[in-house]
Amino acid sequence: MLAAVIALVGSLFFALGAALQQFEAVGTAKPGLLALLRRPRWVFGGVSILAGGGLHIVALGLGPLTVVQPMGVASLLFALPIAATLHGRKPSRRELAAAGVVAAGLIGLVLLVPESDGPTYLGPDGVLTLLGVSGVAAVLLWAGSKAVSPAGRAALLATSSGVLYGATATLVRVLVDGTWNWWYLLALPIPALLALMMLQRAYAVGHFGVSFASLQIADPLTAVAFGALLLGEPLPTGIAPIAAAALTAAGTVALARTSPMEAHRDPA
């Protein structure tokens, strides 16, 4: 129970941070990190996200993954009302329902992923593959975002960010649980900073619900994929993960249709 409560509070902090950062980035033609760092609300959002991540780690130390991970998915349900309030509106029932479908699908996916019971090892070639594949995928998603609607652009840019965050999470696991190498540590900020930059571009488009949901989906799925391809971890089997993925995809499409585009705001 304590682990669940801490994880839930962590999700609230993460949602608040994401909503604040999107509020500062929305409508910005070039949402550069240096410009955003001069905005106190954006910085406070970053601190809130770090606090949420720290609480999630604490929760994982107190309870099983099957309890903590679903609480983490709740950040999507927290983030939409917070963001809507910042923009002076109320989230619609259809918007919240679509977010609920996404959250349900994500919970199913995270609970179906088998836990790894072996040591984590990734050689130098594997690290280069990790960075190369995630980098190419992120660039292709970024390029594709230029030819779609605003909602699609937000989704593709956030997915690009999620892929890079998933690569970052995989590298962190390698450093914490297995292989430790000083140049692995030096490589860590590269995908993390690129992911942050791409996410601000997604936020700047204006469809917060779409971008945040896409991030929530792409990050764990990328980490699971890299775990299977590079670390030899098992993948879920059967019809259940397919159904959960279909539910998540359907919710995201519905969210793209119901989530309004926030208007350009005065950065002052």
What are the domain boundaries of the chain?
A: 1-91, 111-261
CB distance 31 to 25 below 8 Å: yes
Residue 179 scores a pLDDT above 70: no
> What does the pLDDT average to over 175-189?
77
**What does the pLDDT read at residue 119?**
59
Residue 91 scores a pLDDT above 90: no
Euclidean distance between CA atoms 201 and 227, whole angstroms: 28
Euclidean distance between CA atoms 155 and 82, whole angstroms: 19
Who has greater pLDDT, 267 or 122?
A: 122
**What does the pLDDT read at residue 103?**
84
Who has greater pLDDT, 71 or 250?
A: 250
The structure's pTM equals: 0.82
Residue 16 pLDDT grade (very low, low, confident, very high; cuts 50, 70, 90): very high
CB distance 163 to 194 below 8 Å: no
Who has greater pLDDT, 246 or 31?
A: 246
